[in-house]
Chains A and B, each alone.
Chain A
């Protein structure tokens, strides 16, 4: 029983993957737009080392602004990722908790594949059971749980890249959104995908010039909006536009999580061994490897 709870708590992947939402968003036009968005997200995975902060709280709304109504819980993470496979469309990544101290070292290893035909892999170290465990894939993100990311409102389904073939896309309109021109694209899961996802459809607002998702609404299969994503702080980093702050609102529980990229470094020399199961169990090895990356980042 507790195993499920633990895996739910542990589920996480890299920042650069997280901020890509269910990106998969008028037929070919809409598809090509979402391909550009997806390519931008994948670019963040290539030899990247980042420091992420995830803050979670109950929220309220005042003056059109979403605010924490209670003190948020804050987790700081480090993440490393590399692109692999054909055309670098697959990726390996590991995310480790830095703070709070009581959770330091808890991590998750993810192998993410672009192809809809290949299931992603997620590995966790379950210390109480003394084993590294592969988590069964219920959706293409590779994790079977409601997949709270370290207890936050981000889930692995909200963060996957690739697998555009799992969706159909429709360009609904082009609008002005927060001073930017934005495509409004509806993405609907295929029949196969529908069986695996909690979302009946999603609507995403994509910056027309920067190919970044500015906002997304996710609906359940009864057409009720259950989650919303808001992005801010869009910057060009390493030649790629990205949102430095991403907030997901759970409209059912009135909880939000904000994911903030505190630092991101590209072109890092990452030992492939760091992105292996060894890093989940060998704390000393993992810390040595992370120290090397911290030095490179400086």
Chain B
């Protein structure tokens, strides 16, 4: 529990830093000296150019007796251009230098590049960007178009989440929207040698309509799974397109937002002992976002996947090998975010667990803005998994990271 103790010490230290500045008395009728601000304005708006931020981070991770430490420096650049009648161009990218266990790597990448324009009631976008489907962010019932938007990316800087190459269009009629996309180059993660099968172009349609207290959307799409399925005979990871229809809705009830995502997916690959076969599955996620107060929010969601047939044994393959796959899987995720000391400290905690208790994770984070330009953040994570989980090889992993982000 060494890392847990270090994390607790860090949180308490930061808490006390916030507490020391908590109260201040101001007496008398103060007048604001407008000139102090307006004198500064003329010097504020310098030459335009890319927006730049830099993040220096250090992380230590412990798994069993092995300890891994890593340090990184990440520059994020972004900018946008008005091209007149041609439209608008918006991009962001990063250059990340990382050193882990005495091995250094450098990684430049474009996170997004968007060309956007519109005419009449139709708007279109072309480039590398994210498309968010469904009401519950990061839950792979309907939010399955982008790589990286999963529970595994908890803690990833939102600006660093990679986009995918898409062309998309939206047609507007008041608050009703019809949108569609085509994605020629889907990102798929593989843990083994990989092979793509069939026509891997993704495309889909969504219609969104308002209701008196919320909205609902219907979906239809051909998609490529976000990760491949490993054939137990050839040990090749395969990704083939599947079809999906879906429904999502949200409704505001006082301080709560109730959300539902429902999907029926056909032609999904599963691995039996002998080969890969296609199957159908229902996915359902129910979510609640509840504002406990004006500074504290509780989010929770339950996700269920149910295969329509289970006529033999099927397997999921992870880093540590294969495990038996159930016909139904369920998990839940609870998160709490809060701001204390009148906004001086941001706290967040996440807990996720599968219903069969085969795996669970926990994260606790603290954000402390030192100034308008400098923000520090520390996060503690712990993962537990039983032998029946594909996450078994990382059972007991604890990590503690601290980062300082500077906005130039």
Q: Which residues of A contact B (CB under 8 A)?
A: 1-6, 8, 53, 55-57, 61, 64-68, 71-74, 99-105, 119, 121, 126-131, 133-134, 136-139, 144-148, 151, 155, 157, 177-178, 195-198, 215, 220, 224-228, 230, 232-233, 245, 247, 249-254, 256, 258, 260, 273, 276-278, 281-285, 287
Contacts and interface: CB of A to CB of B under 8 A. Distances in A.
Interface string B229-261: 000000000000000000000101011110000
B45 A100 contact: yes
A194 to B, nearest CB: 10
B372 A151 contact: yes
Given A102-B51, A284-B123, A129 B132 contact: yes
B130 A138 contact: no
A47 B141 CA distance: 41
B88 interface: yes
Contact of A134 (B252, B293, B343): B252
B80 A282 contact: no
B116 A282 contact: yes
Given A126-B132, A137-B254, A277-B177, 18 more contacts: A2-B156, A2-B158, A3-B158, A67-B36, A126-B158, A128-B130, A129-B161, A137-B255, A137-B291, A138-B294, A138-B296, A144-B297, A146-B295, A151-B372, A198-B294, A230-B30, A250-B343, A253-B21
B197 interface: no
10 contacts: A3-B137, A64-B29, A66-B30, A101-B51, A144-B294, A145-B295, A224-B23, A252-B21, A258-B34, A282-B123
B364 to A, nearest CB: 10
A252 B18 CA distance: 9
A198 B342 contact: yes
Interface string B35-78: 01110110111001011000000000000000000000000001
Contacts of B30: 61, 64-66, 228, 230, 249
B289 interface: yes
Contacts of B175: 276-277
Nearest to A130: B130
Contacts of B354: none
Contacts of B44: 72-74
A171 to B, nearest CB: 19
Interface of B: 21-26, 28-34, 36-38, 40-41, 43-45, 48, 50-51, 78-80, 82, 87-88, 90, 112, 116-118, 123, 129-133, 137, 145-146, 149, 154-159, 161, 163, 170, 172, 174-175, 177, 214-215, 250, 252, 254-257, 289-297, 337, 339, 341-344, 346, 348, 350, 365, 367, 372, 379
B155 A1 contact: yes
Contacts of B163: 130
A4 B34 contact: no
A10 B8 CA distance: 31
B335 to A, nearest CB: 8
A136 B293 CA distance: 11
Contacts of A287: 82, 88
Contacts of B146: 130
Contacts of B170: 278, 281-282
B37 A72 contact: yes
Which of B33, B172, B289 has the most chain A CB atoms inside 10 A of its CB? B33
Contacts of B22: 252
A130 B129 contact: yes
Kindly name the residue among A74, A138, A287 whose own CB sees the greatest number of chain B CB atoms within 10 A.
Answer: A138
B40 A215 contact: no
A245 B34 contact: yes
B239 to A, nearest CB: 21
A228 B155 CA distance: 35
Contact of B293 (A53, A151, A195): A195
A139 B123 contact: no
Nearest to A197: B294
Nearest to B33: A65
A129 B294 contact: no
Nearest to B22: A252
Contacts of B250: 134
B49 to A, nearest CB: 8
